[in-house]
Chain A
Amino acid sequence: MPTPPNESDAPESETTGLPGLRTWRSVYVLVVAVFVVWVGLLVALARIFS
């Protein structure tokens, strides 16, 4: 017995409201970039203090 579909999301599904990141695709790319930076920093930390 499901509830009725939610229509309120449709118009806003493509807007992020974030400055400089207009599409969700750009947000996802940023998240991946942050991950890559973290991996790079971890590798650097191990090398500097090895």
Chain B
Amino acid sequence: MNALDYVVLLGTLLGIAVYGVWRTRGPRDLKTYLKGDGNTRWIVIGLSVMATQASAITFLSTPGQGYEGGLGFLQNYFGAPFALIIIAAVFLPIYRRLNVYTAYEFLGRRFDSKTRLLGAALFLVQRGLGAGITIYAPAIVLSTVMGWRLDATIIFSGSIVIVYTVAGGCQAVNVTQKYQLAVIFAGMITAFVVLVERLPAGLTLTDALTLAGGFKKLEGVDFSLDIHRRYTFWSGLLGGMFLALSYFGTDQSQVQRYLSGASLRECRLGLMFNAVCKIPMQFFILMLGVMVFVFYQFQQPPIYFNRAALEHGGSGRLRSLEAEFAKDHAQERQQLLAWLNAKHAGNRNAEAAARAAALAAHERGEGVRAQAKAALLAGNSRTTTNEADYVFITFILDDLPHGIIGLLVAAFFAAAMSSKAAELNALGSTTTIDFYRHLVARAATDAHYVAASRCFTILWGLVAIGFALFANLAENLIQAVNILGSIFYGVVLGLFLVAFFLRRIGGAAVFWAALAAQLLVFVLYFSLSISYLWYNLIGCAACMLFSAAIQAAIGPAAGHEEAAPPP
């Protein structure tokens, strides 16, 4: 990166943050601070929901997924439209009617205080750790590639977010997310256009798609019923719907975004915007990765995309592998050109032969890359084997012009900041509303609660930064936190599904059922070796079944309504 890139990067990030503080300046009551000014339109809600979900690692890592596995990862999002429809039709009208600040307030109204606190506590544990990862994950990649200090990168991005989130609350998050998303898409679209232009002369977009299809990178839908396959239409539709229902419907970082809507209509349209746009957005990001793959078939990529690991682990063996890889890559490039020439000439036999030769050369090259990866891993135990995260950033730094590099790096930081701001906003709100106002100061003034919410937001911001700094010590922390999230998410979703759909079940039954389900998930986690994603389903199903069983055992539930608020 040169001076121009740094000007673009700092100007973009600080400009948006300063604008967010300026736009939301002045005194704010509790409702305005936690839910915005009540005039938020559907497009702002829609963009805000989208920006909250799309963290920096989405934009760094997803093109790498496209590069390695093609469009198949897209199936993960197939359940999202259906989950968003259920939330818009069932969850949202109830949240709006009860006029709640947090999703867990609804649990208190539907069941009792202890169930509300349980739901809120589960959210705080999982999202509190998640907020640390939101800044750690891109910081580790960017600092490794750029040579920046990891701690400085984490503190810089984390501090900016704390300042504008604390200053303007929910409205500042919504206002800044709109521009952050604009920067993200400006960067990604620019990268796509430059990428297509950088393809070899004479290679059309159709040719590029032909090559991508030949390498099976365009297979976005797999109707296989094989449960061992990671991404299929069915696992995406069913598993993805469960995950999306849990995330969009019960996670306060998302619920707070759409509760800020001016009306039920605006909230619903914001969610439907995401239901329609989520799949195309992910398709575009994955396709960017597929095009990077095509690009690197004509321009030799590094033998291992994490250059820092390559520099630290360089050896004679690695150099000989690099020479071997260069030879295979040159052969593959030659065969690819022969394949396209034969295709344009309509010579099917020659086309098939060149294609087979190109695929064989590619396989040889991938074999050499695998050997290099193994050599690096053997030489340095801290070398990460997940190099997909480094594919897109390597392309950006090596092949994009200055200025655009700054824009893309700004886009990654903007994505990290937009997600983290929403998370901090939600953590501060939940701590204030579900714990502080509910248990400690029940009849204080609005100004007092706003001050408390600001303090809790700062506290959670510092916890997230501290966690991200500590995360440097652990190699597989991202996976560990994903596992942690899956362990808790299922039970939280179970609480809400019981609340919405099992009307005869009361607070006592669901509370003890949730605890038992959580215990079951813990026991299963330590005794089974299944994919951690299954714990979402197990936790939810166990919570619902145990609730019904306990309610049947203890008899009909008495009606419950939490105490009315002070005037």
Contact = CB atoms under 8 A, between A and B. Distances in A.
A2 B373 CA distance: 56
A46 B220 contact: yes
Contacts of A50: 213, 216, 218
B218 A3 contact: no
Contacts of B31: 3
A13 B265 CA distance: 7
A3 B99 contact: yes
Contact of A46 (B105, B218, B275, B563): B218
A46 B81 contact: no
B189 interface: no
B438 interface: yes
Interface stretch (B89-97, B312-320, B415-423): B89-97
B107 to A, nearest CB: 11
Interface in A7-43: 8-9, 12-13, 15-18, 24, 27-28, 31-32, 34-35, 38-39, 42-43
B81 A6 contact: no
A6 B210 contact: no
Given A2-B562, A9-B264, A50-B213, A27 B98 contact: no
A31 B220 contact: no
Contacts of A35: 78, 81-82, 279
B265 A12 contact: yes
Contacts of A16: 265, 268-269
B183 to A, nearest CB: 26
B109 A2 contact: yes
A24 B92 CA distance: 13
B559 interface: no
A47 B418 CA distance: 38
Interface string B24-41: 000000010000000000
Contacts of B214: 49
Interface in B69-95: 71, 74, 78, 81-82, 84-85, 88-89, 93
B272 interface: yes
B173 interface: no
Interface string B256-275: 00000001110011001001
B256 to A, nearest CB: 14
A18 B276 CA distance: 15
Contacts of B100: 2-3
Given A2-B105, A13-B264, A24-B88, A45 B565 contact: no
Interface in B202-247: 209-210, 212-214, 216, 218-221, 233
Contacts of A6: 96-99
B272 A31 contact: yes
Q: Which of A4, A5, A35 has the most CB of B within 10 A?
A: A35
A26 B100 CA distance: 28
Interface in B468-525: none
29 contacts: A1-B437, A1-B442, A1-B566, A2-B99, A2-B108, A3-B31, A4-B99, A6-B96, A6-B98, A9-B93, A18-B269, A27-B272, A28-B85, A28-B89, A31-B81, A31-B85, A31-B272, A32-B82, A34-B81, A35-B78, A35-B82, A38-B280, A42-B283, A43-B220, A43-B221, A45-B218, A46-B213, A49-B210, A49-B213
Interface of B: 31, 71, 74, 78, 81-82, 84-85, 88-89, 93, 96-101, 105, 108-109, 209-210, 212-214, 216, 218-221, 233, 263-265, 268-269, 272, 275-276, 279-280, 283, 437-438, 442, 562-566
Nearest first, the 7 closest Cβ-Cβ pairs linking A and B are A49-B213, A42-B220, A6-B99, A9-B264, A31-B275, A46-B219, A3-B99
